[in-house]
Structure formats: structure tokens, C-alpha cells
Chains A and B, each alone.
Chain A
Amino acid sequence: MSREKLKDKASIKILEARKSEGMETIWDRYEAQQPQCGFGLLGICCRMCNMGPCRIDPFGTGPQKGACGATADTIAARDMTRQTAAGSASHSDHARDLGHTLIAIGKGTVQGYSIRDPYKLRIIAAEYGIKVENKKDNELALELGERVLQEFGKQDDSQLTLSKRAPKRQQEIWKKLDIFPRGIDREVVETLARTHEGMDQDYKNLIQSTMRVSLADGWGGSMIATEVSDILFGSPKPIRARANLGVLKEDEVNIIIHGHEPTLSDVIVTASQDPELIKLAKEKGTKGITVAGLCCTANEILVRRGIPVAGNFLQQELSILTGAVEIMVVDIQCVSPGIAQAASHFHTKVISTSAKASIPGVEHIDFREDNALDTAKKIIKIAIDNYPNRDKTKVIIPKEAMDLVAGFTAENIFYHLGGKFRASYKPLNENIANGRIRGVAGVVGCDNPRMGSGSSHVALVKELIKNNVLVVQTGCAAIECAKEGLLTPETAIEMAGEGLKEVCKAVGIPPALHLGSCVDNSRILIACTEMVKEGGIGKSLDELPVAGAALEWMAEKAMAIGWYFVASGALVVFGTPMRISGSQAVYDYVTKDMENITGGKWAFEEDPIKAAHLMIDHIDRKRKALKLAPMMYTQSYTVTGHLPSE
């Protein structure tokens, strides 16, 4: 049963209570879907054309080709390529909307937004070749906004501006493979065209397209989203907050913001602090208004404003099932239709705000930049008005809420590691080179009932830090680890290996650093690039002692992220494989041959401990190739060793 792997106590408490009341959740629906279609799981069902759907028999007695003649190799690769394009499109469309907000600020047609990081505005504008001297923020915002939007529709064959940040060797590889990201929309459109019936059928050529469309995300859409969000909403700084369902309050109006874009959530946070609304809330007999985030929206407002986190993807229904949520406001991505059904059991109102993401049975309030603050206030008022409908006898709020520190960025990591007076990546690189820190691992991605319902991330991070690997995190994986106390120095440092512990203690950081939402995986690319620039631990991304994992990946976005890391030279570990297992050729190509092509490769491993050691072995191989010093404290921490805290 998928639910048995769920480890989060708050979630279990709600689930057990509500199960007995006959309320259905994502785990029930996941179980009801078992067993799932083997052809789909193996990626050998092709639905591209109306001669199909065609399926390849993986056991070899039935058909080995689709009606058109496509083999398992073509079908698996083609479908994977399309999924990656959809993932890339998701992040990039998110970025495009932020570009529009930037322009609206420039034109002064917004309400509730301003440039919060004018310094970064200038840096990024300059990077885009805009003259920044003697220009007001508004002017620059308009110019940069337009420049940024050009990246989407660019038709010439030059590379995307931000992709020039990549180390020289990566750029050479991309040029050689002809996978340079050109225009963001163009790569998505071209990929869709190439995967149409009767087009690209050679799996190697299709995977070339996969890599290009993913690079247009990592060094394009996602990176733009991160940078523009920093400009608009402020660059994150380390900040303390709390995470898990326990952040909801019995005696306050509880508002949950769920989805991905900071545009909506930021202004709702602002509106929730409006004294008049607070007064109104108190008039209803409450002590105030609590705004909590969920999923990547949570990460956006957490890293910038310290707003508490109600939970990650799998807790969206559970948060409603506390019975204590007046309103859940959602925008885009990872919003499960199940929340409408969950809300029907309680007084909770769910409100969708994006014209691009409408949910059956959910009230819609269109959210636009020009009246954002008014809309936000209106939404909060709905929440306050809904409070008297809360049935207090039905409320179950778990106590669990864990402290965490978030808000690290590529720019401020070195600030912390180096200290105020020698802010650079030098201390990180030195500590890697001298064997105190083994390397850096990204542990990111979704939480998925197919895997551990979040628990795999925790096990993976514990194993990594125990082995002196510094962990960087984003997305729902970061929230899961936050709930388990892995993101706070006080509890986490003791779980780290001796070397990593020394560094974390000296600097005062946790061994796992929260970098933000899933578009903020671009921060990891930049941080790695900075490590290369600093020197001493590899001249290109594929030489660095680093690795990444998204064991519980669920969304197509994760495939885009995984692929842009692989195309940039990293090892990426997924728990359950992408849907390519039905083609041995494709599987071998991405898990083995790829290392000789981009320097990166895929690995698939469901067991978090085994996955950790795949990553550690990879990092060790890189260390060996670089002839770095042996690890300082290897003996005391082996696979079977106990955590000091246990």
C-alpha cells in the first residue's frame, strides 16, 4: 500500500481521522488505480496518431511495431520528448507571465507590485545588453521586460542570453550536438513538430530534441522566472519560518495559497497585513489572519517573506481536511482536482485565479496585475466572511510544525560560506578540495504516492549529509525535509558527517540548503557555474563532484529539469524510471551512453539509500578524476553507521 510509506506524522494523523469518516484522498485514488497500465509504465503505448493507439508487447510474443512501423525505441523516445516539452513549456509560460508583470510595472499599470530588488534589476538588465546608467527603475523594468519576452519568440539561431552563463565547455558541447537553446517557444514548438506522426523516428535524434527543449527551460524559462521574481519580489535572504499543517491556527482565519506563481501569493500576503482586514477578522471573533503557502507557492513566499508553509503537493487535500481552512487560493500547476472534493466536506472555499487553470466545481476569480491588490483583498474578505461557517467540532489541526531556515541563493551561498569579508565560493571549493565536504547534491522534486509520499527525500538527504555531501534543495522535496527538521542548523547539523558538520557549525548554516521553488533549480545551475569559475574542483559542470536527484518525481516539469541537468553534465537520479523502460536501446542510451555525450547521465533507483550511494559513488569518481584530497572523515561514517542523533 502506498500509504504505508508515508512518514509525515501530521499527514498520517489527518488521514487516519478522515478515513474513518469516509473521506477519500489521493492515496485512495492511487490505490484504486492499481495495477496501472504496463504499456503506459514502460512507455510503449503510442497515441500520436489516429491509426493508434498502438502498443508494443514487451514480452515479445505480440506486435513489436506500431501500425506505422514505429518500434519501442521510437515510441518511448518520442513520448519522453513530448513530456519534456510540456514540462519545459510549464516553467517557461510561468516565466513569460513574470515578464509581462515586469512590463506592466514599467508602464505603471499594476496595483500592489514594485521593483523590490533594483540592484538585481540593473545587473540582469546589463546582462541583457541594456544600458542601465541614468535610468529609472520603471524604464529599466519596461526595457528588460521586453527584452525578456523577446527570448521567447526569438527566431534567429543565436543562443539564449542567460545560457551564455554556462561554463565554456558546456557551451562547446551544446554547439557540437546542436542543442543550443535558441528561442524558448521555438524549442517547444519544434519539439512538438518533431514528435508528430511521421516525423523524427530515430531515438537518438529525438533525444537531441529532448535536450534542447529542456535547456531552453533550465537556461531559459526557469532561469528567467527566478531572476525576474527576485527583481519583482526581492532576492531571498536566509530567513526562519515554520512548516507543516501545524502552522494553521485554531483561532485565526486560515488562508492557504497553492500553486506556483509568486505574483498572486505575494500580493495576498500584502493584503493579509491590511489593518482594516485584520480588524474585520477580529470582529468575527478571531485573533487575526494566517496566510500559509502550499507547494511551490509556499516556497516563493517562504524564501522572500518568511510565510509559513502548510505543506507540499500531497498535503493539498490534507490541509483542507483539517476543517480549519477558510479559503484555498490556487493559481497554476500541481493543483489537484481532488481539492474540490475535499472542500465539499467542509466550509472551505477553493478559488481558482488563473484563466489557464480552471477546476470543475471551484469558484473562479480572475486575477490580473492591474487590480491585483483589490482582488487580493476581495479574496481575503471572502475568507473572513467564511470563518463563521467553520464547524469547530470537526476541526483537526495536527500539532506538527517544524522550524526551518530557507532563502539561500546562488548569490548568497558564498556570502554565508565565506563570511562578510571574503564573500566568494572559495571556502566551499576549498572545503570540497580538502575533503571536508565530499561534494554537492541537489535533492529536489515532487512527492509521489508511487514512491515514499515524501519519505524518500528525507532518507536520501540524511544519507547524503551523513556522508559529508552538502545538499541543496528546492520544491516539494525541500518542504518534506523542512518538516523533518533537516533545514534547520540546530537539529540537522548533528546528523551531518564530521567534515560537513565542521563547515556548517563554523558558518551557521544547515547541511541542507533551501533554494526555493522548482523554477529555482536554475539557482543550482548558477551555483555550479560559480563553483567552476572559482576553480580547483573542475573546469566544467561535468567535472564537478555534484549530483542531483528527484526520486519522487511526478510532474512532466521534473523531466525537463532532469534533462537540463543531464544535458548540462550532471548525474540525475529518478526513483521510478521515466517511461522508457520498454525500449532497452533508449534506456541504455540515457543511462549509459549519455555520459560520453554530455558528461551527464540518468540513473533510476527507488531505494533512497541505494540512490544516495549512486550519487556518492558518482561524486567520488569525479573527486578521483580531479585528484582531490581523500575525504577527511570517511571511516566514521559508513553505510551501516548510525546517525549521531539517533
Chain B
Amino acid sequence: METKKIFCDITKCVGCRACELACAVEHSATRDLFLAILESPRPKKRIDTQFIEKDVFQSIGCQHCDDPPCVEACMASCIHKDKKTGKVDIDTKRCVACWMCIMACPFAAISRKAATENKALKCDLCPERECPACVDSCPTRALYHEARKDWAKREKNKVLIKK
């Protein structure tokens, strides 16, 4: 099975950051926007909306790499790539906050959690949801949760339609 991860169609992303908020809320204790902003520590997003150039944006998080540098770098051996799903997960309980994974990630997709609990943090593809919160939240439907071959197919079709 090929890794399903989150793809962003840059042509549709308007940089609204809705995915960031949905992500933070999904990873909060209360799962409610109005209550999540009152939590301490405040929940942290794992996806980032980035400015590429004028009027071009993207939302990007963990790429769940085929050959993940973070897995190799983790000296506590708490990051693993699931053989079946291809998902790269951090066993937060074992994380010692050495930031070796941050050191190695080519996409800056791993961040440090709030000071009270020093742990590495990244996209976990919302294990409790059928579809990750960011994908569901995207008002322009720019985000997709799928395997690379499906994404490529979609892109190819788009080009065909354009022609």
C-alpha cells in the first residue's frame, strides 16, 4: 500500500490558514475552537501555510517520506515508518526532545511543543478521523489525503482538461 499523505494543490490554496486552525483544534483537549483557545498550553498546529511568491501559497506538513530522514536521525528510536500504511509516527512518550528529527527534516515539518511539554510534534494524519481535519476544513478544497499515484492521476487529468 502506498503512503497516503496530504497534498496541497497550490493553484487552489488561498492562504486562509483554515487548515492550521482546524489542525490545532483537532489536536486540542476540548476539540472546540472557542474552548481550545483557552487551553493551557494552547494546542499547536502541525501544518503550515506558507507564502511562496506573490499570490501563491501552500499548506504543508509532514510528507511521510518514502525514506524518512527523521527516522534515521532519531536517537531515541521513537519515530517509525509504519510498514503497512507508510505513515511516519512519533511515539511521543519516548521522545526526549533532542530535536535530531528537526535537524534532519527537509520540510521543516516538525516543531517543538509548548514549553510545558518539550516534545517533537508533527502531522499524525488525524488517527481518530476518517479524513484529516485540515483536508475537511479547506474551504477551497485545495488539500487532498491520498497516495502519490492518485495525486499524480488527478494532476494529469487537470492538465488534460486544460488542453
The answer to whether A and B touch in the complex, with CB atoms under 8 Å apart, is yes
**CA separation between A35 and B135, bound complex, in Å?**
11
> At the interface, yes or no: A61 with Cβ under 8 Å from chain B?
yes
| Closest beta carbon of chain B to A212's beta carbon, Å | 28
Q: A35-B137, A577-B34, A582-B37 are in contact. Are A59 and B18 (CB under 8 A)?
A: no
**CA separation between A60 and B38, bound complex, in Å?**
11
> At the interface, yes or no: A419 with Cβ under 8 Å from chain B?
no
A residues in contact with B20, CB < 8 Å: 57, 62
Q: Which of A38-46, A373-381, A546-554 contacts B (4 or more CB under 8 A)?
A: A38-46
Q: A59-B37, A581-B37, A582-B37 are in contact. Are A38 and B44 (CB under 8 A)?
A: no
B interface secondary structure, majority: helix
Whether B25 pairs with A38 at a CB distance below 8 angstroms is: yes
| Closest beta carbon of chain B to A341's beta carbon, Å | 21
> At the interface, yes or no: A55 with Cβ under 8 Å from chain B?
yes
Whether A61 pairs with B18 at a CB distance below 8 angstroms is: no
The chain A residue sitting closest to B49, CB to CB, is A62
Whether A35 pairs with B22 at a CB distance below 8 angstroms is: yes
> At the interface, yes or no: B90 with Cβ under 8 Å from chain A?
no
The chain B residue sitting closest to A37, CB to CB, is B18
**CA separation between A369 and B76, bound complex, in Å?**
81
Whether A38 pairs with B45 at a CB distance below 8 angstroms is: no
Interface string of A251-277 (1 = CB under 8 A from B): 000000000000000000000000000
In this complex, how many residues of chain B approach chain A with their Cβ under 8 Å: the count is 20
**CA separation between A399 and B139, bound complex, in Å?**
39
Q: A59-B42, A60-B42, A61-B45 are in contact. Are A37 and B37 (CB under 8 A)?
A: no
Interface string of B3-37 (1 = CB under 8 A from A): 00000000000001110111011000000011011
Whether A41 pairs with B16 at a CB distance below 8 angstroms is: no
A residues in contact with B43, CB < 8 Å: 59
**CA separation between A59 and B24, bound complex, in Å?**
8
B residues in contact with A62, CB < 8 Å: 17, 20
> At the interface, yes or no: B136 with Cβ under 8 Å from chain A?
yes
Whether B37 pairs with A58 at a CB distance below 8 angstroms is: yes
**CA separation between A426 and B38, bound complex, in Å?**
47
**CA separation between A55 and B21, bound complex, in Å?**
12
Whether B18 pairs with A42 at a CB distance below 8 angstroms is: no
**CA separation between A475 and B120, bound complex, in Å?**
53
Interface string of B61-94 (1 = CB under 8 A from A): 0000000000000000000000000000000000
**CA separation between A577 and B44, bound complex, in Å?**
23
**CA separation between A62 and B17, bound complex, in Å?**
11
Interface string of B100-138 (1 = CB under 8 A from A): 000000000000000000000000000000000000110
Whether B45 pairs with A59 at a CB distance below 8 angstroms is: yes
Whether A37 pairs with B139 at a CB distance below 8 angstroms is: yes
A residues 42-83 in Cβ contact with B at 8 Å: 42, 55, 57-62
**CA separation between A581 and B25, bound complex, in Å?**
15
Q: Point out the residue from B16, B44, B137, B139 that lies within 8 Å of A59, measured CB to CB.
A: B44
| Closest beta carbon of chain A to B110's beta carbon, Å | 14
B residues in contact with A584, CB < 8 Å: 38
**CA separation between A57 and B17, bound complex, in Å?**
9
Q: Can you list 17 residue pairs at the A/B interface with Cβ under 8 Å?
A: A37-B18, A37-B139, A38-B18, A39-B17, A41-B34, A42-B33, A55-B17, A58-B21, A58-B42, A59-B24, A59-B42, A59-B44, A60-B42, A61-B44, A62-B20, A582-B37, A584-B38
> Top 5 A-B pairs ranked by shortest CB distance?
A38-B21, A58-B37, A59-B42, A59-B24, A35-B137
Interface residues of B (CB under 8 A from A): 16-18, 20-22, 24-25, 33-34, 36-38, 42-45, 136-137, 139
If A38-B33, A59-B45, A61-B44 are given as contacts, then 16 extra A-B residue pairs at C-beta distance below 8 Å, sorted by A number, are A35-B137, A37-B21, A37-B139, A38-B18, A41-B33, A41-B34, A42-B34, A42-B37, A57-B20, A59-B24, A59-B42, A62-B20, A581-B34, A581-B37, A582-B37, A584-B38
